[in-house]
Amino acid sequence: MFVKRMAGAGLTRLDATLVFEALSMACPSVAAFLSIHNMCAAMIDKFGSDLLRKKYLPKALSMETFFSYCLTEPGSGSDAAALKTKGDKSNLDYSLTGTKAFISGGGYSDAYIIMARMGDDDTKGITAVIVDDGAVGLTFGGLEDKMGWRSQPTRQVQMDECKTPIENLLGEEGKGFSYAMAGLDGGRLNIAACSLGAAQQAFDQTRAYMAERKAFGKTIDKFQALQFRLADIEIELQSARTFLRHAAWKLDNGAPDATHFCAMAKKLVTDMGSKVANDCLQLHGGYGYLADYGIEKIVRDLRVHQILEGTNEIMRIIVARGLST
């Protein structure tokens, strides 16, 4: 495995779910930002040429070079294959023109994996290239003011005849969309792990709060109705954790239904994470609505997990297609 030769940890996708679950217990926004970089590095490791690996992976592994993933556009979110960013090729470089939207790390990252159309209007016309920060023709939109994920910058990435050298081609021309989708399998596991860890943290904080908060002469964790709610949350967390680990194992072992399971895990765990965080806010009562307790931040941060890396509606479509094959 190349990352081992480059002094990487050589961890599996299953290992990654453990790592990102733990990181997100401190801050799901930071953990998710790191997961995107991780996904980009994995794409370079899996699909990049030896030259590209040697050029980028050592500093990507040490995080001296931070990566952003650029697929979504203002007019193509869930319908990612409809992207309009155009690429032209010369003997020396690729020239890209177009706009990417909702890019985590836009204007902050050191390099960007860009999906651009260099051929037909179908998915086989899409090619992936790496563009370095500072490239001619590369600019950024204003900082987006977001509901959550406020620890990480989000901007449009804009290209006007943006130049990147020929050797920055990722993999083969015309296979960019398949690379993007393959990268998303791991990304979906990571974002699910981020939801799981943040939800677990909200649950731990809620149990501690309920053991101290008194009403009607006793701590509120002694009321059976609330104990049942805590029991339901524990069941939801453990069920989601088990399913996520199973999906990661499928991806690690190249199971033919790995994409099917990654989509199911992403939908199940991110829905669960938002539900648990919201339930924990409710169990805090009015205090849960205050920033002092940190629960409202978890609710805000996790809401976008049901949208990015493919909306949970798209996850249902992927699962349904898997059932018909």
Instruction: Determine which one of 21, 173, 236, 309 is catalytic.
Output: 309
Residue 275 to residue 265: CA distance in whole angstroms: 15
Instruction: Let me know if 73 is a catalytic residue.
Output: no
Cα–Cα nearest to 25, from 196, 189, 152? 196
Distances in whole angstroms, Cα of residue 42 to Cα of each of 36, 37, 84, 183, 270: 10, 9, 25, 7, 22
DSSP state of 324: T
30 class by beta-carbon count within 10 Å (0-12 exposed, 13-18 middle, 19+ buried): middle
What token pair was written down for 187? 């990304």
Residue 118 to residue 126: CA distance in whole angstroms: 6
| 3 state SS of 113 | strand
Strand partners, 154: 104
What token pair was written down for 44? 């370079």
Question: Active-site residues: which are they?
Answer: 309
